[in-house]
Each structure stands twice: as structure tokens, then as C-alpha cells.
A and B are shown apart, each in its own frame.
Chain A
């Protein structure tokens, strides 16, 4: 019997460097005032991008839902005709992306650019410093008017994109801040018909929420004489806690930082899982669990079971992206933010417009960085974004008289029996996520764009935190320390969360629980976090 020796196999991870980075260091931009041959070949505006055809090699991460071979997709074929730039795509399945990326970099045969390759921040700074991922600040200013406009419009995105040394080494995936539904992702949904049947109105406070759940459980709203209703269901207790904690004023900097926010009383960073308010949240959720108001298998529930049960219509409330798309359930309405016992009303489970920083990088092997920048910049423009998401008019989408766009019937109801994605990915490549572009409501036809989702988001978007932080970027040494500390700290948070809520740990142990964090190095953790936060503020 053979055993796999490599522990690094499925979990090989990327690297850490020991280079010291200081904020404010500007790496020399390189390139003098003389124009290179590549620049001469390029048109500084309009299409085509280059006068003579140019070939670029790009590596794309292949998510399970995207087109299997981007060399055969309409969007790139047509785009080539527009731009005069031919791209040789190499597809790498996302499951082996990290190893392959390492191997490519180690072997020296990496492509001109990485597209949708989920490059983590730690790598961006590491290879940026090495010069392998080139510095984009000047290229953006000179050749990327659309991206520049977006970065100017959303300074938080620019700040999150900038690495500790002051440079930008990658292009981001941006969520339009006005597209509140997509920012919120999974929302809390309520089954309206049960509310009506029991004569209840939408809950406004955490007490209302509790009472509503109790009514769902006891008053048999589906009228079948059995107490088979599940008042609330979701997968994993963290989702519920994150959704509710805003009612206690926690998470006031958004969902990208589930464990850290700012303490309103002293303006310092606060570690949420050790704070007294958090204890109250846990006690509240514990009460819900104990009284059977939450699905008892919340800790182990898998997606498939969750969707199967939901499709039976027995969930009173649930947290998900769209009950209609996923479970074929109409009649759920979104819940707004709740007011908690201290009067707070924040919807903290919201993501940052900077969905991910490392969606696109240009490497030092690229002989046409300017043309590449123009190539990618067009995709961020309005027409470019429309093309990226919708494809081509008359072929993959139609335009309605009121200006709206929708996919053709061939895609939504494929005559040959292909599913929506299968039909779609002959034309475009966006399924799978992680791409360099901006997600806007008018062009994004996923679940978050459905009317109920948008409506739901409108309700609670007024209660989004005033400041939503993107993920912070760390220097390589900080990255390493944070990774080590977080592994332990987050484990403990998750385990104890589950134990407190399920009753396996008593709240009498709270002080011990808080003290354990100190033993795990919470102080060092918070210090690194604060340093990163200060850098973020300065940029």
C-alpha cells in the first residue's frame, strides 16, 4: 500500500521572505524617457491597442464553473480582433494553483501575466519586492484611465491595494459600493407567509427576533399540526453570530475583519471575541439554541443537506444568498438590521468593495507592460465590463427597450439541454469569481442581482458601518507572525463559540477563556494589527 509522503501535497503553501519593507519606500519605476520599441508599437488610446499584433502568455486559474479552455471562448477571440493582442491561455485548476505557481516561479518559466489566479497579499508584497510582479503605479497613471478613475473614486480600494512599501503590484476585483446586495453576500431571510399567518410584523429588535422564532416554533405556522418548523437554520454558528453581532455594536468596521473592530469608547482596536459585548451575543445565541429555535445540527450541517431541507419549505429564517435560486423558495423577504439591548443598530456582515487584491498581476517577463495595462484597463470600463459579463450583443445577450440587458434564451433555456453555466461559458469566463473587474448591478446577473436580494439589501444598507475596511496588507515578517498567531487564535475562537452556544462550556468559564487569548499571544497579534491599520490610514 502506498502512502503519500508529501505533507506539502494538498497544502503546499507559498513562501515568506525576510526582506524588510518600510512604508514610503518607492521602488524606482525604471525605464527612462526614451520610448521602447514596445511603446512605439502601441496606440496610447482607442482600439486596436497595438499596431502590430502582439502575443502574450497568461496563466488563468480555472475554477470548476468557468470555461475549461479560455483559448476557445468567444470573449477572448473577439477581444483579440478588437485589440490586436493575442493571448495564449494556460489553464491551471484552482486546486493546484498554489503549487503550480510556486513551481513556475522557482523554475523561472512563468507567464507575462496571471489572471484570476488568487494571488494572496503575502505573495504580492514578496514578489513585488523581488521585482517579479512589476510595480504598476505609473502604468496605471499613464495608461489606465478607467482603473485610475475607480481608484480615485474609491480611495479605500486604493488604500487596500497598496502594499506596505507604498507600491501597487496588482489589480483588484472590485464590488460596486452601490451594489449593496452583492456586498452583503449571504443575508438573513424570513418566510413572509408565516409572519402574515401569525400576525407578526418584521422584527426590529433582538427581542422581536427571539419572539418571532418562538412563535414559529410553537404556533405551527405551516398549519400541518406538526411542530416540524425550523425557526432558524444556517450552516455553522459563525454566520449567525456575524449577522447578529451588529446589534450589540460589534463589527463596526465590516465583515473583512470579523474579529477586530474599533472600540467606540477609546478609539483603539478591539478584539471582538474577548469583549464583554460578545459574551452577550453568545448568551443570546445560546438561548436560541437551547430552546430549539436554531437547527440543532448547525455545527455539522453541510451545504447539500441545508439546501435539501430548505427546499422542503420548513425554514422560518435562514442565512443564504438567495432562497429562490438555491432552493426554489419564493416568498422570503430580507431582514433589516436589528436594534440590540444597548440601542446599537449596525449591519456588520458586509464585505469590502475591495473583494480581492491579487486578481491580476504583470510579471517582469512581460515585454509589453504598457499594452498589457491598456488591455486590462479596457475591461474595467463600462463597455468593457459589459462585454466581460454579458458577452456580445445579439449573440449572448439582448438589449431591452428600457436599456436593460439580459442573456439570450440560448443561454438561459438551452435547447440542447446544457445548464446555464455550460451554455454561458462558451461566451464569457466570469463564473468562478476572482477576476479583475468591477461588479455592477446592471451587468451582474447572479443571485445577488435578483429583485428580492436587491430589495433586501436596500433595507439594511443604511445600517452599514460608516467605514468598511478592506483586508490589510502586511510585511513579510508580519505575515508570518500573523499566520502563526491566527491559526491558534481563530481555532480557539471557533471552538469556544461552538462550545458556549451548545452549552458544552459554561459562561462561568468566561474569564478563563479571555485569559487564554493572552497566553496565545493576543497582545502581539493586536500590535501587528494596529501597525497594519496605521499604515492603512496613512496611505
Chain B
């Protein structure tokens, strides 16, 4: 990869400064994260009264117990993994299918199509017409309802388009053209392999989106057995912001609010740990492509 080189004094200073700044950022970000971990295994009373500063106080696994006590969790995990895998695959496919053509500067109608897409980021018919449409298409309470609405994000199309425009040297494409390659060949043989970084990023973005999704499920799914993880977790997590706490028979709710404190943090960890690990896994794709070799060759 990067060859070892002799460093000038200036470079060394820069490196030290850089490391220093990054260490500060690291600490600033790390502290609250450790807090979340500690809070998830601490006595909720102590957390709330500010007695937990870094390390857990009053060790308890009660938060996690409550989370896993719910039999639906496993089902929720499985459903979410399914939705994420299928959904992301569809997303990537459609995004590339839109972004690549739009990245050709002499594609006629490019601006119009882009505007056509971007317009939908701002204007939408709203929940009711969309729901009625989904219903007409027979997708209510199906796996498809979790995948198809929102199958492409315009934001991501635009970003991917930018990447294709900028990061694939035109010389390579021109060379392929002259060799008689069709557009599809160029796309598949040259552009995509060189686009690992952006594909990795999009995989990450879409996967996280699916993983956190709950609104579609809330509206379109009626079968509990199809519920994704987030929906199940929301049910466990009783929000303590209910202002009519003093309503009749809500004291059972209020009693659980104390427990909700450690559950809150446990839920965050349980919900996000798997998807969080996706990035380190994808990091290896953030490498410089084979650009240099190809250019020279």
C-alpha cells in the first residue's frame, strides 16, 4: 500500500498534531459511549441522579433481562435481518441503475430526470394516498411493504452519481469504448469494480436505514410475527415523557418508568450492536481502486 518514506520535520509535526487532535475527538466521543454502556448495567436510580460518571454503579443486569424477557425479540431480529438483506440488495440495484446513466454528462434529459427525482424529496402526497396505493397493490401486511416503499433514496442516487462522475477516470472509459465495449460492459467490468468504496458506503447507509425502520411496519403490518426489531423494542421501552401520567390506572406505568431508565440504554445496545459492527467490516472496501495500474497500462 503506502510505502515507507523519509519524513521531513514538517511532516512529523503535522503527524503529532493530527494524532493529538484525533485523540481529543476520540476521547470526547468515547466518553458518552462508555457512559451508555455503563448506564445499561447500572442501577437506574443512580443513573438518573447523576451518580454514574464513567463506571457502572450498582451493577445490575435487570435492563437486559427485561429486554430479552420478551419472546418476540428473537423473531424481531430475524425479521429485521431479512428486511435489511433483501431491502439493501434492492436499494443498491436500483440506485446504481439510476445513478450510472445520470452520471453520463451527455445523456440527454439528464437534468430533467434528476429534477424529477429531487422534486419527490420535497413534495409528497402524504400518508393516506400512499397507504391506499399500497393497499390497492395488495401489499398490506406483507414482506414487500417493508421493502418497496422507500426502495430508493434520491439523496443516495445523487451521491452515487457524483462519485461515478468524479472518481472514474474518463480515460479508462474511453479506452473501453474504443475497444468496442457497450455501456453495460463498461458499467459492469470497469465502473463497478472501481466503485467499491461508494458501494460500501451505500450498503452501509441503506442497511442502517432498514435496521432502524419502524414506521412502515407500524402502518403497514398487522401481524405481530412480521414486526421488525425496532417495533418490538419500542413496545418494551416505555417512554417516560407521557404527560398524563396521573391518569387512572397509569400508576402501573409509572412504576415501570424507573426500570425504563436502564432499559433505555440496554435497548440502545441490543438494538444497534449488530448493525454497528457492519462498518468495521466494510472498511476494507475503502481502498484506492486499481486506477493507477489501469492508467499506466
A–B contact with Cβ pairs below 8 Å: the answer is yes
Task: For the complex formed, measure the closest distance between the CB of A68 and the CB atoms of chain B, giving whole angstroms.
Answer: 7
List A198-217 residues whose CB lies under 8 Å from chain B.
none
How many pairs, one residue from A and one from B, have CB atoms within 8 Å of each other in the complex? 127
Contact indicator A185/B132 (Cβ below 8 Å): no
CB closest chain-B residue, reference A419: B256
- Contact status A8-B247, CB under 8 Å: no
* List of A residues within 8 angstroms of B253 by Cβ: 64-65, 431-432
A308 and B252 contacting across the interface, CB-CB below 8 Å: no
Q: Are B219 and A2 in contact (CB under 8 A)?
A: no
Contact B249 A6 (CB under 8 A): no
Given contacts A99-B219, A107-B131, contact A304 B249 (CB under 8 A): no
Q: Assess the B246–A185 pair: CB atoms within 8 A.
A: yes
Confirm or deny: B268 has a beta carbon within 8 angstroms of a beta carbon on chain A: no
> What are the 3 A-B residue pairs with the smallest beta carbon separation, nearest first?
A447-B251, A186-B246, A308-B48
The answer to whether B151 has its CB under 8 Å from any CB of chain A is: no
A325 touches B (CB below 8 Å): yes
Point out the residues of chain A lying under 8 angstroms from B44, CB to CB. 304, 308
Closest beta carbon of chain A to B51's beta carbon, Å: 10
Contact A325 B48, CB 8 Å, known A9-B215, A106-B132: no
Contact between chains at A308 and B235 (CB < 8 Å): no
With A186-B246, A304-B240, A355-B248 already in contact, the answer to whether A100 and B128 are too (CB < 8 A) is no
Name the distance in Å between B9's Cβ and chain A's nearest Cβ: 41
Name the residue on B nearest A435 (C-beta).
Answer: B249
Chain B residue with minimal CB distance to A349? B246
Residues of B within 8 A of A (CB): 44-45, 48-49, 121-122, 124, 126-128, 131-132, 135, 150, 153, 155, 205, 209, 215, 218-219, 222, 224, 234-235, 238, 240-241, 245-258, 260-261
Per DSSP, are chain B's interface residues mostly helix, strand or loop, or mixed?
A: helix
Q: Which residues of A contact B155 (CB under 8 A)?
A: 1-3
Interfacial chain A residues near B241, Cβ < 8 Å: 302-303
A12 at the interface (CB under 8 A from B): yes
Chain A residues near B135 (CB-CB < 8 A): 107
Contact A321–B254 (Cβ < 8 Å)? yes
Contact, CB under 8 Å: B249 / A99: no
Interfacial residues, chain A to chain B (CB-CB below 8 A): 1-6, 8-9, 12, 64-65, 68-69, 90, 93, 95-96, 99-100, 102-103, 106-107, 175, 182, 185-186, 302-305, 307-309, 311-312, 320-322, 325-326, 355, 419-421, 430-433, 439, 444, 446-448
Across-interface contacts of A420 in B (CB, < 8 A): 252
Q: Complex: how many Å from CA A430 to CA B250?
A: 10
B189 smallest CB distance to A (angstroms): 31
Which residues from B are CB-within-8-Å of A308?
44-45, 48-49, 258, 261
Known contacts A107-B132, A326-B255; is-contact A311 B249 (Cβ 8 Å):
no
Q: Does the CB pair A307–B257 fall under 8 Å?
A: yes
Bound state CA distance, A126 and B240, in angstroms? 32
Whether the Cβ atoms of A433 and B249 lie closer than 8 Å is: yes
Chain B residue at minimal CB-CB distance from A10: B215
Contact, CB under 8 Å: A6 / B127: yes
Cβ–Cβ < 8 Å partners of A1 in chain B: 155, 205
20 sample A-B contacts, Cβ–Cβ < 8 Å, listed by A number: A1-B205, A2-B205, A6-B127, A9-B127, A64-B238, A65-B250, A65-B252, A93-B218, A96-B218, A99-B127, A106-B128, A107-B131, A182-B248, A305-B48, A321-B254, A355-B248, A420-B252, A430-B249, A432-B253, A433-B250
A6→B124 contact, CB < 8 A: yes
CA distance A279 to B131 in the complex (A): 50
- State in angstroms the CA–CA spacing of A419 and B49 once bound together: 25
Inter-chain contacts of B205 with A (CB < 8 A): 1-2
Contacts of A325 in B (CB 8 A): 251, 254-255
Q: Considering the chains assembled together, what is the distance between the CA atoms of A106 and B209 in angstroms?
A: 29
Which of B219, B251, B256 makes the CB contact (< 8 A) with A446?
B251
The verdict on A5 contacting B124 (CB below 8 Å), with A175-B248, A321-B246, A432-B249 known, is yes
Contacts of B234 in A (CB 8 A): 95
Contact in complex: A439, B49 (CB < 8 Å)? no
